Every structure is written in structure tokens, then in C-alpha cells.
């Protein structure tokens, strides 16, 4: 519960007006067993980890991306990108959710291995932020 409260406080402060935290920040990065809504992550939800027979989605919630920023998220298996999605920000925004993955189960289930979510945010060709989650199996 404390984690959710701290997450909510951080997110609210990060969305606050001028003079407070306005840097582009990765607020949430992870793997989910279904596509998510931005509001769920804003409230501090911790999505269930994908399983062998569920959807598999990598997600990133970014606070304060700037016009022209490129947000790229990858669903990786053992370091190799399986699926990716890229969004170029059209105007300064309070928050952006980008997801990559599969909303259904691949034929035969997900292959064995360690899955990660990876994000890279670039601005004018320079990397603003880059992170990757720890690897987890889809049991």
C-alpha cells in the first residue's frame, strides 16, 4: 500500500505545474498479461506478469515528454527484440503510455526464456533515458 501511495505522490508531483519536476521521466516500466490503460498505472497498479498462456505486453509510462521525443518500447526475449512500438510525441504532454507485445497468446504459447521490457527515449538524436527490466520467465 505504501508503494502505491508513494507512486501516486510522485506521479501527481511530476504532473504539477511549472516550477516543479518537469524533466522527462520514466514513471513505470514493466510487463503485463494484458494491454493496459494509462489510468491504471497512474493509480499505482502492479499488473500481473504474463504467463505461458496469456497475453504478453511490455509497457512504459513516461511523464513530461517533449514535442519531437521518440519513445520506443521493446518486448525482448533473452536480449532479442520480439516486438516493438515507437511513438513520436506531437506536442509536450503530461504523460504518455506506449506498449508493445501481443494481446493474445502465440500459437503454442510463449517460448521459454527470460522476457524484459526495454525503453529508449531520444530527443534530437540524443538519448534522454534508457532502461530495461529484470528478465522473467513466462511460466
* φ and ψ of 116, to 5 deg: -135, 160
Of residues 57 and 46, which shows the higher confidence score? 57
pLDDT of residue 18: 45
pLDDT surpasses 70 at 73: yes
Pick the closest to residue 117 from 62, 64, 77 (CA basis).
Answer: 77
* Residue 5, φ and ψ in degrees, nearest 5: -65, -45
Cβ atoms of 64 and 14 within 8 Å: the answer is: yes
Categorize the per-residue pLDDT at 68 as very low, low, confident or very high, splitting at 50, 70 and 90. very high
pLDDT in tens, 81-133: 999 999 999 998 889 999 999 989 998 899 999 999 999 999 999 999 999 99
Which is higher by pLDDT, 47 or 3?
A: 47
Neighbouring CB atoms inside 10 A of 137's CB total 13
pLDDT of residue 11: 52
The alpha carbon dihedral of 3, 118, 59, 95 has a sign of: positive
In the chain, what are the domains?
2-132 (2.60.40)
Amino acid at each position: 500500500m505504501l508503494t502505491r501511495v508513494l507512486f501516486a505522490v510522485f506521479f501527481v508531483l511530476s504532473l504539477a505545474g511549472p516550477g516543479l519536476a518537469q524533466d522527462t521521466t520514466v514513471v513505470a516500466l514493466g510487463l503485463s498479461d494484458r494491454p493496459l490503460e494509462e489510468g491504471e498505472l497512474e493509480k499505482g497498479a502492479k499488473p500481473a506478469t504474463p504467463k505461458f498462456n496469456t497475453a504478453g505486453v511490455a509497457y512504459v509510462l513516461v511523464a513530461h515528454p517533449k514535442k519531437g521525443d521518440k519513445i520506443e518500447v521493446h518486448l525482448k526475449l533473452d536480449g532479442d527484440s520480439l516486438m516493438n512500438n515507437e511513438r513520436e510525441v506531437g506536442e509536450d504532454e503530461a504523460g504518455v503510455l506506449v506498449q508493445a507485445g501481443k494481446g493474445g497468446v502465440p500459437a503454442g504459447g510463449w517460448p521459454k526464456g527470460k522476457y524484459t521490457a526495454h525503453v529508449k527515449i531520444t530527443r534530437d538524436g540524443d538519448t534522454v533515458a534508457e532502461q530495461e527490466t529484470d528478465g522473467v520467465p513466462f511460466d
